[in-house]
Amino acid sequence: MSTDKMSVKVNVDLQKERQKCNFNIQEVTFIFDGGKEQTLQRKKIEDIALNSGASIDSIPEECLGLKERYDNAVRKSCIYSRIVKNEILEITGLEALGNPVLRRTADAFFKEISPFMLHLGMFVPTIIGQCTEEQQAKWLPRALEMQIIGAYAQTELGHGTFIRGLETTATYDPETEEFVLHSPTLTSYKWWAGGLGNTANHCIVVAQLYTKGQCHGTHPFIVPIRDMETHEPFPGVKVGDVGVRMGFNTADNGFLSFNHYRIPRENMMMKNAKVLKDGTYVKVARHEKLTYGTMVFVRVTLVKEAAINLAKAATIAVRYSAVRRQSQPKPDAPEPQIIDYPTQQHKLFICIATAHALQITGDWLWRTFKDVLADMRGGNTDSLPELHALSSCLKAISTSDSAAYIEQCRFACGGHGYMLSSNLPLIYSFVTATRTYEGDYTVLLLQTARFLVKAWEQVEAGKSVTPTVSYLTLAATKEKVLWNDFAEGIIRSFQAVAARKISACAETIKRHMKTGICYEDAWQLTTVRLVSAAESHCRSVICQTYWNEITRLTASCSTNVKIVMEQLATLYLIYWALERSGDLLRYSTISEKDLNRLQERYEELLALIRPNAVGLVDAFDFRDEILRSTLGAYDGRVYERLMEEALKSPLNDGPVQASFHKYIKPLTKGKL
């Protein structure tokens, strides 16, 4: 427990909730963080970064004008990155790039987003993933020392999803041994890159590479865009901010164009392909798509990002629901805490369970990613397609579920959830963007579907497939899978649903092709079902991973921790079985009676989890500085905090605003 939690006077209802909790909170914190070591490391990092008070704003960020907000975000980014550089990276090493502790701690500094986020989030990882050792030796120390600040500019005004359609060109000139960067059209302007508008002095630019008159597709380049002394854009570079957005307004998302702008040949990131001095193009990598490596890395990290943000929202909404009392269902009885309403429990407990499910799946995916990376270092890229398929669907589903449930947490807080000071709108505006960036939801599910259909064709041909799709053999028989409501039975049924949907898609594609249309058109006609099949596959992966891992992780835990963790995981499985009852009726032997029983068990679980609800969110262990919420603080002083924050609004700086004299008075006196 951090010091701020020990000294404050806590709301009485929250105190009672904490007395009711029957499990060891710290053990659950260890599970959520991925182990005791990780918890201790996180706490140490949070102490280093937050105990100085450098993150505190005198005026709420949201009350500042756009420019002041950006200015304040840059100020705090400089403080935070000095702490990261001098102290945090010393503890974590570069593992920090895949560890949510940096983002979690950063939330105490920025209610929105740091304009430096993409520097550590994508610029540095791309240097590591796409540069030769020699290039890394040149760029990495400068980037880690913050001597240069970078952005990642891939998306253009005209294309984001379709990378092969990017229009920016990098044409090699062997006379001067330089690449000439050019933006031939308005739609070729780089657009969206975080940190690019006003902050970055360097940028990774993804451009179509031309040499000896031939195009070799998109490649990444490191491009200096601003003078290191004056920060003026170099001649030939046009750069600016893309304009006000739904969120991310301190993230400095920018546009960028080039007018025949020259960079040295060595600024091409040459780990996967090279251009020699004479202009000869040499492919080094064994796999076509290795230049997409940073995207795969970020997609992997986004799963845990989704979990952490959902855990934050759940903490706010559950604590608030324990403090808030509303309505009078029984005459003469006191108003209940809103968390006592089963409908409120239905809204919130799935959020807690999903945070655990995504965190555990995110950990598992991170380990898989590191294994694949190790294979690739040894020259073996065989497991890359499976990693791409997994990271694509898990990124899509985790960000989409998390955004939906964060919004549900806001609904669960009624009117006060709509206050920016609750922090729920800001968490939502951040997370809803993650559904789009780094690959749109639908597009990524279709990438997974492509892998699944191929895997199904392998199964049909009697060939072996990789472990995450070995369940596809379930579809080989047309029999409905036998329903049983044990966890393993539910998971098996989800797999059967996914398998049957995938096989049905493959059949549909074939059926369309029999009418004489080509494969691509047949694929398009099947995409609604393909997205649904990929979603089912992903749900079965999450359910299986969550269940297997939570069983493993709690094996040595105390009894009550085992019980509450099993209750949450079972709730998760049953919730999705009920949500997908249509699929189960279609592809398993589940009956109406089974569904009724499942519904009853679900409601029983809500009641069983209820006394531990506050304990469960306390176990996420967010410091108040990170939650930044009037509704979710540890002490539950909800109404006092709402009032205190309201009084900080510049609109409360005096009893009469100037607008009264300028406009309202003349209007009411008939003089306007």
Ligand X SMILES: Cc1cc2nc3c(=O)[nH]c(=O)nc-3n(C[C@H](O)[C@H](O)[C@H](O)COP(=O)(O)OP(=O)(O)OC[C@H]3O[C@@H](n4cnc5c(N)ncnc54)[C@H](O)[C@@H]3O)c2cc1C
Nearest to ligand MYA of 92, 136 (CB atom): 92
Tell me phi and psi for residue 233, to 5 degrees.
-60, 140
Q: 301 contacts which partner out of ligand MYA, ligand X, none, CB within 5 to 8 A by kind?
A: ligand MYA
Cα 463 to Cα 314: distance, rounded to the nearest angstrom: 44
For residue 502, state whether it binds ligand MYA (rule: CB under 6 A).
no
| The two structure tokens encoding residue 126 | 């791309």
Q: How far is the CB of 477 from ligand MYA (least distance, A)?
A: 27
Closest approach, Cβ 83 to ligand X, in A, equals 23
Per residue, what are the HEC states of 363-432? HHHHHHHHHHHHHHHCCCCCCHHHHHHHHHHHHHHHHHHHHHHHHHHHHHCHHHHHCHHHCHHHHHHHHH
By a kind-dependent CB cut-off of 5 to 8 A, residue 534 interacts, out of ligand X, ligand MYA, none, with none
| Tokens standing for residue 318 | 């559950």
Output the CA angle 522-527-529, nearest 5 degrees: 110
Give the integer Cα–Cα distance in Å for 439 and 51: 37
> Which helix H or strand E contains 327, and what residues bound it?
none
Q: Which of 34, 115, 121, 417 binds ligand MYA (CB under 6 A)?
A: 121
Residue number, 139 or 152, with CB nearest to ligand X = 152
Strands laid side by side in the 190-193 sheet: 190-193, 254-258, 237-241
Q: Secondary structure of 201-264 in the HEC alphabet?
A: CEEEEEEEEEECCEEEEEEEEEEECECCCCCCECCCEEEEECCCCCCCCCCCCEEEEECCEEEE
Annotated binding residue 516? no
Name the residue whose CB lies closest to ligand X: 160
**Which of 157, 295, 459, 606 is the binder for ligand MYA (CB under 6 A)?**
295
Instruction: Identify whether the C-beta of residue 584 lies closer than 8 Å to the C-beta of residue 477.
Output: no
Give dist(CA 479, CA 463) in Å, integer. Answer: 21
Q: How far apart are CA 451 and CA 287, in angstroms?
A: 16
Nearest approach in angstroms of CB 15 to ligand MYA is 36
List the single partner that 102 binds among ligand MYA, ligand X, none, CB under 5 to 8 Å by kind.
ligand MYA
Kindly indicate which of the ranges 4-12, 51-59, 160-168, 596-604 contains the residues binding ligand MYA, using the contact rule CB under 6 A. Answer: 160-168
Q: How far is the CB of 381 from ligand MYA (least distance, A)?
A: 9
How long is the chain?
A: 672
Is the alpha carbon torsion for 331, 333, 338, 341 positive or negative? Answer: negative
From 17, 46, 305, 438, active-site residue: 438
Binding positions for ligand X, rule: CB under 6 A: 118, 152-155, 159-161, 192-194, 248, 253, 433, 436-440, 442-443, 446
Evaluate whether 395 touches 535 at the Cβ level (below 8 Å): no
Dist CA 155 CA 395 (whole Å):
18
296 binding partner (options ligand MYA, ligand X, none; Cβ < 5 to 8 Å by kind): ligand MYA
**Hunting for tokens 């503890």 — which residue is that?**
91
According to CB under 6 A, which residues from 139 to 158 bind ligand MYA?
Answer: 152, 154-155
| Binding track over 88-117 against ligand MYA, x by CB under 6 A | ---------x----xx-------------x
Minimal distance, residue 222 CB to ligand X, in Å: 15
- Is the CB of 531 or the CB of 633 nearer to ligand MYA? 531
The residue among 266 and 440 lying less far from ligand X, judged by its C-beta, is: 440
Residue 438 annotated to the active site: yes
Kindly tell me which of 210 and 292 has the beta carbon lying closer to ligand X: 292
For residues 533 and 525, what is the distance between their CA atoms, to the nearest angstrom? 14
Q: Is 194 annotated as a binding residue?
A: yes
Nearest one of 185, 259, 192, 268 to 223, comparing CA atoms: 268
Question: Judged by CB under 6 A, which stretch of 223-231, 289-297, 327-335, 336-344 contacts ligand MYA?
Answer: 289-297
| Residues with a known catalytic role | 438
Residue numbers of the site for ligand MYA (CB under 6 A)? Answer: 97, 102-103, 117-118, 120-122, 152, 154-155, 160-164, 194, 289, 292, 295-296, 298, 301, 384-385, 388, 437-439, 443, 447, 450
List, as residue ranges, the binding site.
155, 194
